[in-house]
């Protein structure tokens, strides 16, 4: 069942947010649930939403997976988001059935057909999640399309947006025959203002962010709202507001559902960053994937911070950083990209990098991860719970730059 509802003033300056959430379980999911639009020629249209749209400025980000269906050896031109009066669409070109497909992103519903923005092509991988966003700004007469948080195309229009009110469809448009999108759509939003490029980048790449502040310390402050469950953890003082303190040495953790599946092994970039306040430094974990038993970030037996990755050859590669003092706040972060390798930071300063890592093991499916716990493994010899407090925990599905890490470490 797809539930569509209004959330007002969820972000300062943001109004009339249209959000799609799914309560039914779907096998292939980006976060926890997604809407499966996987039936060509279906007679039951996807859920529609009516809302008066101000002819001013808006943006609409959407998570999707291109899980294509095939007719006669080709993939039909189909829409993922379209509307009678809302100029939002993605069209996949008519192509052969290979593992990649050119995608054409489109704006419709302007007076002048020259203002319908068609751009392309970008090869997208079948059965992979992508973030797309369309921004229209009435004041600047500008259309912008983003793919995975990066500007994909833009143009200035000679006419204004025509829509005033009507029905918005997810995964279907009545304007085209056989226009059902075959795949999954998640976290669809319509915001009645033009979002900035920085906001779109956060929407597309921030997996979660926990401030751990009261009154909702275990709520996700990021765009995906992945709230947590806890075990032997209490709210405590933080570097900013409140943090979470792990009260045992062997059974305390924060469980986050879930880290998006990106392949097994994978080469996808990531960033984890947090503030820690250690009361003991005799081992303990910080980032751990329990279903696969992989420890990514933690302390060595003598209290040094370490980030480590397991290669497909079952070889562990690690960056060992400085000793972590007790009863002192330290900012720690680790990043990965194929270009720059695995990098560890303490207080915004690099502790070293290991390059040449092409793939690594992390999650073999859509699995939960633990914050503040790990098994004893490789360079994190002494497992168990981190002894101390964690605050301001960020995770991204991209490699943050040196300056971005330094900004997070500067409070």
Query: Which residues lie closer than 8 Å to 196 by C-beta, 6 or more apart?
Result: none
- Reading across the β-sheet that carries 48-50, which strands appear in turn? 48-50, 167-170, 81-83
For residue 191, the number of C-alpha atoms closer than 13 Å in the C-beta half-sphere is: 25
What mean pLDDT is predicted for residues 213-221? 95
Question: Which structure tokens are listed for 319?
Answer: 């960056």
Burial of residue 282 (number of CB atoms within 10 Å: 0-12, 13-18, 19+): middle
- Decide if pLDDT at 247 tops 80: yes
- Assign 199 to helix, strand or coil: helix
pLDDT in tens, 62-73: 443 322 222 222
Burial 328-360 (b: 16+ CB within 10 A, else e): ebbbbbbbbbeebbbbbbbbbebbeebeebebb
Q: Which pLDDT belongs to residue 140?
A: 82
Q: Is the bond preceding residue 112 a cis peptide, omega within 30 degrees?
A: no
User: Residue 183 in contact with residue 167, Cβ under 8 Å?
Assistant: no
Higher pLDDT, 402 or 76: 402
Tell me which CATH code domain 2-195 carries. Answer: 2.60.120.200
Backbone angles phi, psi at 242, to 5 degrees: -110, 155
Q: Which pLDDT belongs to residue 147?
A: 82
- Assign 261 to helix, strand or coil: coil
- The most distant pair of C-alpha atoms in the chain lies apart, rounded to whole Å, by 68
User: Residue 66 in contact with residue 124, Cβ under 8 Å?
Assistant: yes
Among left, alpha and beta (phi > 0; psi -120 to 50; other), residue 90 is beta
Backbone angles phi, psi at 204, to 5 degrees: -85, -30
- Out of 67-81, 219-233, 316-330, the most confident range is 316-330
- Decide if pLDDT at 391 tops 50: yes
Q: Residue 19 and residue 216: Cα distance in Å, rounded?
A: 21
pLDDT in tens, 21-53: 332 222 233 444 444 444 334 444 444 443 443
The CATH label, of 2.60.120.200, 3.90.226.10, 2.40.40.20, 3.40.50.300, for the domain at 205-408 is: 2.60.120.200
User: Residue 74 in contact with residue 95, Cβ under 8 Å?
Assistant: yes
Domains 2-195 and 205-408 share a fold: yes
Burial of residue 23 (number of CB atoms within 10 Å: 0-12, 13-18, 19+): exposed
Question: Which structure tokens are listed for 128?
Answer: 């992979």
Q: Residue 88 and residue 144: Cα distance in Å, rounded?
A: 11
pLDDT in tens, 277-328: 999 998 899 999 999 999 999 999 999 999 999 999 999 999 999 999 999 9
Task: Specify the pTM.
Answer: 0.80
Q: How far apart are the first and last CA of the chain?
A: 43
The rounded percent of the chain whose pLDDT value lies above 70 is: 63
The rounded percent of the chain whose pLDDT value lies above 90 is: 45
Q: Which pLDDT belongs to residue 187?
A: 76
Q: Which pLDDT belongs to residue 112?
A: 53
Q: Which pLDDT belongs to residue 40?
A: 38
What is the domain partition of the chain in residue ranges?
Answer: 2-195, 205-408
- Assign 385 to helix, strand or coil: strand
Q: Residue 209 and residue 212: Cα distance in Å, rounded?
A: 9
Beta strands in 57-179 (DSSP E): 57-65, 74-75, 81-83, 89-92, 95-96, 100-106, 118-125, 129-137, 142-147, 150-156, 167-170
């Amino acid at each position: 069942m797809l539930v569509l509802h209004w959330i007002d003033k969820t972000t300062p300056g943001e109004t009339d947010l249209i959000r799609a959430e799914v309560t039914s379980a779907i096998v292939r999911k980006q976060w926890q649930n997604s809407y499966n639009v996987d039936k060509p020629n279906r007679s039951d249209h996807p859920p529609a939403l009516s809302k008066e749209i101000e002819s001013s400025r808006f943006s609409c980000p959407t998570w999707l997976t291109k899980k294509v269906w095939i007719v006669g050896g080709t993939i039909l031109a189909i829409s993922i988001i379209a509307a009678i009066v809302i100029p939002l669409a993605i069209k996949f070109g008519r192509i052969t059935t290979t593992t990649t497909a050119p995608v054409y992103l489109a704006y419709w519903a302007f007076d002048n057909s020259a203002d319908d923005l068609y751009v392309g092509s970008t090869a997208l991988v079948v059965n992979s999640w992508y973030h797309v966003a369309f921004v229209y700004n009435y004041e600047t007469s500008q259309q912008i399309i983003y793919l995975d948080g990066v500007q994909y195309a833009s143009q200035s229009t000679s006419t204004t947006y025509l829509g005033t009110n009507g029905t918005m469809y997810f995964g279907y448009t009545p304007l085209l025959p056989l226009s059902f999108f075959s795949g999954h759509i998640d976290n669809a939003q319509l915001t009645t203002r033009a979002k900035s490029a920085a906001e779109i980048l956060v929407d597309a790449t921030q997996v979660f962010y926990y401030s751990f502040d009261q009154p909702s310390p275990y709520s996700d402050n990021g765009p995906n709202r992945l709230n947590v469950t806890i075990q032997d953890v209490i709210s405590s003082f933080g570097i900013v507001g409140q943090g979470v303190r792990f009260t045992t040495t062997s059974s305390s953790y924060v469980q986050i559902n879930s880290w998006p599946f990106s392949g097994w092994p994978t080469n996808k970039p990531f960033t984890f960053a947090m503030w820690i306040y250690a009361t003991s430094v005799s081992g303990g974990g910080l980032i751990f994937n329990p279903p696969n038993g992989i420890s990514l970030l933690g302390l060595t037996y003598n209290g040094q911070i370490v980030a480590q990755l397991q290669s497909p050859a079952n070889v562990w590669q690690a960056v060992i950083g400085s000793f972590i003092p007790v009863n002192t706040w330290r900012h720690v972060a680790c990043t990965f990209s194929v270009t720059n390798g695995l990098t560890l930071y303490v207080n915004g300063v690099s502790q070293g990098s290991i390059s040449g890592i092409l793939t690594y093991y992390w999650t073999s499916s859509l699995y939960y991860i633990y914050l503040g716990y790990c098994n004893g493994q490789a360079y994190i010899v002494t497992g168990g719970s981190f002894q101390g407090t964690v605050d301001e925990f960020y995770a991204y599905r991209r490699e943050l730059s040196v300056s971005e890490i330094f900004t997070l470490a500067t409070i």
